[in-house]
Structure 1
Amino acid sequence: MFGRGVISALYGWAFEKAGHEVEFYVRPGRKEQYGSELDLDILDGRASFKGVPVKEKWTIRMREELTPDHDYDLIVLSVNHNQFKDVVKVVGPNAGKATILIFNNLWDDLRDFAEGLPMDQIVWGFPGGGGGYRNARKLEGGFMKAVYLQTEETAASKPRHQSVAEVFRQAGFSFSWQKNIRDWYWLHFLMNVGMSAQVLKDGSHQELFRSPKKLAQMILLIREMLPLIAAKGGKVGLGASLAMRLPAGWIGYAMYRFLKIDSVLSAVMERLASTAYITRESFAHFPNDILADARRLGVSLPRLEAMERYFR
């Protein structure tokens, strides 16, 4: 697992429980800073919509170097999209024969995003979980049963895709298969932009999640940005397109009600908010990147532009 972030830790724990050997690559000096134990307070959603509470001390293995002669079968990359180029500098020359699972948000074309990595070794996917660190050693979060993966037919290597799917399957996960993973990434990225910009304007996740009206404003932001996907050569799926045509107030109220249900998803969002794990700077990368691209492509985003002072 590249890094010891929330997603790496959550899925690393699940993989180890399924019988795999898991190690975390961390930057020099971080082994001593982090210590060898993680204090987990998470919800495991593989068997329950509400999630099974897990509270335990988990001893992990970390390493501060990566060389091409390693014997890893799988390297999982899940970092902030703006940090990915730095990740490539480490993994690219040291990938060896391992399959690389890119488990990440992204807004570039896939080949541009992964430039410097061996493309024929990559499988593209996205997690179904999240949360935050309360401190350097306490993780509060959770994951759902499903993960998102490109289909086998669209993978550069079917055997590598099958091996990744088997790792998740053995660990008790199910799949949401994406025939066009690139366009799915782009839509998901715009959803993150809408949430990030609205959170920065409102001051916190809690302010957003507790207000149907503010959630409706977030929906209007996302709807405004959808033409960017076509401008980049992509296409919004029929289901998402139809859903986004519903009155924003309806969608905002439905989201408000859903977030009040006792579920893994609502707990993940609450823990993300309460830990304040993602910094303002990290949130600001999302709308800043989109606004820059919109101006380059000549797509007007008046709602987002009016909020620019909150994330500049």
Structure 2
Amino acid sequence: MKILMFGRGVIATEYGWALEKAGNTVEFYVRPGRAAQYGHSVNLEILDGRVTSKGTLIKEKWPITMREDLQEDHDYDLIILSVNHNQFDEAAAFLSSRISKTTLLIFNNLWVDPQTAASQLPKDQVVWGFPGGGGGFDAATLKGGFMKTIYMGTVIGSVRTTRYLSVRNLFREAGFSISEQKDFRSWLWLHFVLNAGLAAQALQVGGYSKLMSSSFHLKHSFLLMREMLPLLKAKGARLQPGVVLLLNLPAGMLGFIMQKFLGRASLPRLIMEQLAASGHASYALTSLYPRDVLADARKLGVPLPRLTALEAVFK
């Protein structure tokens, strides 16, 4: 398959590498002038979680192909779009006149209704997914990793089309497992509030490393997440009973379990630490999650006293 990664960010680079190693042709679209800035290779120090849960260390200088223009008559089979949620509108507007007949995998989080966010794009060409990786660039080296699982699903009004199945098979053939969600909109919104709870508490205590090392701090993240469940309901999310039950378990117990799960040798923790060390967990990016959640809560009249009390750290 001929694949275009939109941008040369962390997720695009990690999954582009994995897909190329699986026998696909991978290229990157970058803004004019960026190809010379980036250079034609990427230094990788990433943990590949497809074989072992702790990840296999990959250290490689990977040559890549970049292009700075994208005309409608291109011949890509798949475009993969993975950007910060606040950058999505700009990216979607750019692609709307350049997507041609290509399948587009939207591979990132959103806090607005996905169908509304993607309204500029041809509905029958869009496939929804979410990565299980991260990290950041340390100078010219990408440090981070990805887990075996990626997430896919359908949103209201979409079905598992031939395009969906083709993307699913692409990742399976590259060694990934797929966790499929029947209501991907609700899943994305739940993931967003989980991020918001972690982000707000990380800003409060001085960073993700301190947060992950303390069951007490993680407990307060879970209290924040639990508080946000009525907001998800007000937005129209349909949460699975098991999720609601889990988040209503004693927060101290959840914090203890999470702290053990995020032990120093765990792949998720190593990915988050690389994210923080690279500056990709900057105040500007981290504060977006709780700030957007609180803004929606006020708009919908849903009280979030715990998050409101922390507003000074992300305002």
TM range (shorter): over 0.9
**How many percent identity over aligned positions?**
52
Aligned-pair distance for 1:36?
0.8
Aligned-pair distance for 1:160?
0.3
**For 1:309 and 1:263, how far apart are their aligned partners in 2?**
32
Matches within 5 A, 1:263-278: 263-278=266-281
- Number of the residue aligned with 2:94: 90
User: 1:290 is aligned with what amino acid?
Assistant: V
**For 2:157 and 2:265, how far apart are their aligned partners in 1?**
36
Matches within 5 A, 1:1-312: 1-135=5-139, 137-150=140-153, 155-156=158-159, 158-260=161-263, 262-312=265-315
User: 1:282 is aligned with what amino acid?
Assistant: L
Shift of the 238–157 alpha-carbon distance from structure 1 to 2, 3 Å rule, reads closer
- Could you list the runs of 5+ residues in structure 1 that have no partner in the other structure? none
Aligned-pair distance for 1:154?
7.2
The answer to whether the 8 Å contact 1:99/1:160 transfers is yes
Instruction: Summarize deviations over 1:179-221 as a string: whole Å, max 9, x none.
Output: 1111000100000111111111122111111111111011100
Aligned-pair distance for 1:19?
0.8
**For 1:252 and 1:153, how far apart are their aligned partners in 2?**
33
**For 1:282 and 1:152, how far apart are their aligned partners in 2?**
26
User: 1:24 is aligned with what amino acid?
Assistant: F
Instruction: Summarize deviations over 1:119-165 as a string: whole Å, max 9, x none.
Output: 11001010011111112x21011111111011699744611011101
What SS does the aligned partner of 1:23 have?
strand
User: 1:279 is aligned with what amino acid?
Assistant: S
Instruction: Summarize deviations over 1:37-91 as a string: whole Å, max 9, x none.
Output: 1110011111111111100000111111111111011111110000001101211
Larger CA deviation: 95-104 vs 283-292: 283-292
**For 1:151 and 1:122, how far apart are their aligned partners in 2?**
10
**For 1:139 and 1:283, how far apart are their aligned partners in 2?**
20
The answer to whether the 8 Å contact 1:152/1:158 transfers is no
**For 1:146 and 1:152, how far apart are their aligned partners in 2?**
19
**For 2:266 and 2:291, how far apart are their aligned partners in 1?**
32
What SS does the aligned partner of 1:65 have?
coil
The answer to whether the 8 Å contact 2:154/2:160 transfers is no
The answer to whether the 8 Å contact 1:198/1:218 transfers is yes
Larger CA deviation: 230-239 vs 184-193: 230-239
Larger CA deviation: 99-108 vs 268-277: 268-277
Instruction: Summarize deviations over 1:2-47 as a string: whole Å, max 9, x none.
Output: 1111110010000000111111111111111111111100111111
**For 1:295 and 1:14, how far apart are their aligned partners in 2?**
42
Aligned-pair distance for 1:273?
2.1
The answer to whether the 8 Å contact 1:110/1:182 transfers is yes
User: 2:292 is aligned with what amino acid?
Assistant: D
The answer to whether the 8 Å contact 1:38/1:139 transfers is yes
Equivalences, count? 311
**For 1:110 and 1:277, how far apart are their aligned partners in 2?**
24
The answer to whether the 8 Å contact 1:216/1:251 transfers is yes
What SS does the aligned partner of 1:97 have?
coil
**For 1:276 and 1:26, how far apart are their aligned partners in 2?**
21
Q: State the TM-score, normalized to the length of structure 1.
A: 0.96
